Amino acid sequence: MSRTSRILVAVASLALLLIYAFPLWTISLEAPQYPEGLGMEIWVSTITGENPHDLRNINSLNHYIGMKTIEPDAIRELAVMPWVVGFLVVSGLAVAAARRAWLLYGWFALLAVLALAGILDFWLWQYDYGHDLSPDAAIKIPGMSYQPPLIGSRSILNFRAHSWPGLGGWAAFGAGVLGALAVFLELRRWRGSGAQEASDASEVRKMAPALAALLLPAAVLLVAGCAPSSPVPIAYGEDTCALCVMTVSDDRYGTELITRKGRAHMFDSVECMANFYLTQERSEVASMWVTDFRNPGRLIPLAEAVFLRSPDLRSPMGMNLTAFWTGEDPQALLASYGGEILDWEGVLEVVRRGGGPGAGMHGMHGMHGGHSEELRATPEPQVR
């Protein structure tokens, strides 16, 4: 083995130690009755709630639809994984010290097989968790399953489930990339390319852009605190507004706020998102998105939007706030619809005058046909 390959294997092995310090995977749930969401983190040896009582609350909710209780001590894989990861770390360092290419190939093959087996086992666990329901469940929906996505987001009843690798998972991915690079370099040498250590190092430098692209997701998560850089598509007619709990149905007015924790909150109007924003710590907001009125269903960053308040454009909650892309000519908008042009601070001021966060939304609902009474009559789900 070349010196470069040995360093790559050693770094890959040490990167696996991060699995003991950070969660391998995270699954989060958000719904109108849980504006800050619920989350659980899957570690190498246990499962915990993202917040102190999240796992207990998830189990309580799942009880009503017949799902099994999540008991970390009963999951055999969690007892085995710490030893498996430890073996990979020690054996990887031994490979780097032994300088034998065939040991490298065996170590990388074992790492790849165990990674694929782990992903398959995780999916099977999710499948059983979401499909094997108790016949005595309080809530039964024929044909309904509750399997969360392996990776990505999915709507389940009035919840939005998100499943993404944690920092420990990205560390494992990075270790795999480094191991694959070491194998590639050794295979080149074995095939008689004549590449020596210097050319190996040169090869690594040439491949640096591709390597950086593969490892970029982990870097983004470390820097951005796991907040996604793009909005989650709004499921019109299915998603509910995180503030007023109305169905988000008009694809000309849907908006979205994403927190630093990566939670996406959907809203049916600009005014609902503005009211919600006024209740949040500014440091907890990662990004906000609005729909360009001229392009229904297209979310654009808040910074690329200008707002028109016009009685000729009735927004869902009655405050007549409509978003347009900043490329629009403001004078043309005024000529077409009348009203006044606002920036985001102007929108917030309008919402404050309209009643402010919290109770003020009932006033806006009243402007839209008495939805405030409907909201008062809708009981909040209870967790027992």
> Residue written as tokens 């054996």?
91
pLDDT of residue 363: 39
Question: Cα 99 vs. chain centroid, distance in angstroms?
Answer: 41
pLDDT of residue 212: 53
29: phi then psi, degrees, rounded to nearest 5: -125, 140
For residue 318, how many other CB atoms are within 10 A of its CB? 18
pLDDT of residue 23: 93
**Residue 28: its H or E element:** strand 25-31
Buried b (16+ CB within 10 A) or exposed e, 134-165: eeeeeeeeeeeebbbeeeebeebeebbbbbbb
Domain ranges of the chain: 3-224, 255-377
**Residue 154: its H or E element:** strand 152-156
Q: What one-character DSSP code corresponds to residue 23?
A: -
Between strands 305-309 and 159-165, the pairing is unpaired
- Which tokens sit at 328? 């629009």
Angle at alpha carbon of residue 170, lines to 168 and 175, rounded to 5°: 95
pLDDT of residue 84: 93
Sign of dihedral through CA atoms 345, 347, 350, 355?
negative
**Residue 39: its H or E element:** strand 34-42
Burial of 282 (0-12, 13-18, 19+ CB in 10 A): exposed
pLDDT of residue 372: 34
pLDDT of residue 221: 44
Instruction: Give per-10-residue mean pLDDT for the chain (384 aa).
Output: 89 94 90 78 91 84 84 86 94 90 91 92 87 82 81 82 91 93 86 52 53 48 48 88 90 90 86 91 86 91 91 90 88 90 92 59 38 34 32
Sign of dihedral through CA atoms 299, 300, 301, 307?
negative
Q: What one-character DSSP code corresponds to residue 50?
A: S
- Full 3-state SS string of 334-374: HHHHCCEEECHHHHHHHHHHCCCCCCHHHHHHHHCCCHHHH
Between strands 321-325 and 305-309, the pairing is antiparallel
Contact yes or no for 23/37 (Cβ under 8 A): no
